[in-house]
Amino acid sequence: MIPAHVAIIMDGNGRWGKKRLITRNAGHKAGAQNLRVLTEEAEKIGIKFLTVFAFSTENWTRPKDEVDGLMRLIPEYIQQYIDENNKNNMRFSVIGDLTRLDSNLCEKINNLETMTKNKTGLHLIVALNYGGRDDIVRAAKKAAYMIKKGDIEPEQIDASFFCGLLDTARFPDPDMLIRTGNESRISNFFLWQSAYTEIYFSEKLFPDFNVRDLRDAVAFFSGRDRRYGGVKE
């Protein structure tokens, strides 16, 4: 059984750089290069949606040079996909609160989303300035404004309705969440969406998490018995 939607917390890039006596930003660049390899493999395996946690709402508190480096790297990464658009069948989307991002970056994001909207291959979703709590709070605000305007009644809000207000409304919940970097937490990522997600922790730092490791994670998922709170006889 292949998971339709895989999410990855790409942890360990900075530590990977420090271990090699180079900069943390060099580690982030290595992680971005590794992601390109993994997206190709994910499509070969048959994964339909791949969401990557690229920058969280809490990452702004990191040292300025690291944040600045990431804000330079992300547009470069997106530009590469724009330049290679005709070579692949991959669709691209971004989730998160984009209001804090540079206008040029937002323009690149919009361009790539528009260029790839009819692609039918792997759908790569980049979580940028994203936080699970922030996602839920923004959705709650949307619901509150709808009630205030008289568009809905409070009784109309249920789990299905609320899902439609989240950043991920267009996508299925992740079947599997992979966390690299030898950490065993989800760090404010997909708090709502991961209610019944299978979680796979890897000791490897993300730049070292290779094609074989991705296949091992998929094999782990295939062996899981997913009951969604029920009991199988």
* Rounded average pLDDT over 138-150: 98
Which amino acid appears at position 160 of this protein?
S
- Percent of the chain's residues with pLDDT above 90: 91
Domains of the chain: 5-131+175-222 (3.40.1180.10)
For the residues 139-145, what does the mean pLDDT come to? 98
pLDDT beyond 70 at 133: yes
User: How far is it, in rounded angstroms, from Cα 166 to Cα 194?
Assistant: 13
Backbone angles phi, psi at 95, to 5 degrees: -120, 160
**What's the N-to-C CA distance of the chain in angstroms?**
20
What's the pLDDT tens digit per position in 13-72?
A: 999 999 998 999 999 999 999 999 999 999 999 999 999 999 999 999 999 999 999 999
Q: Please say if the pLDDT value at position 154 is more than 80.
A: yes
Q: What pTM value is reported for the model?
A: 0.94
Q: What is the pLDDT of residue 87?
A: 87
Give percent of the chain with pLDDT exceeding 70: 99
Specify the 3-state DSSP secondary structure of 128. strand
Calpha distance 82→111 (Å, rounded): 8
* Cβ-based neighbour number of residue 55 at 10 Å: 21
Q: Mind telling me the catalytic residues?
A: 11, 59
What pLDDT is attached to residue 85?
85
Q: What's the CA angle centered on 187, arms 134 and 15, to 5 degrees?
A: 130
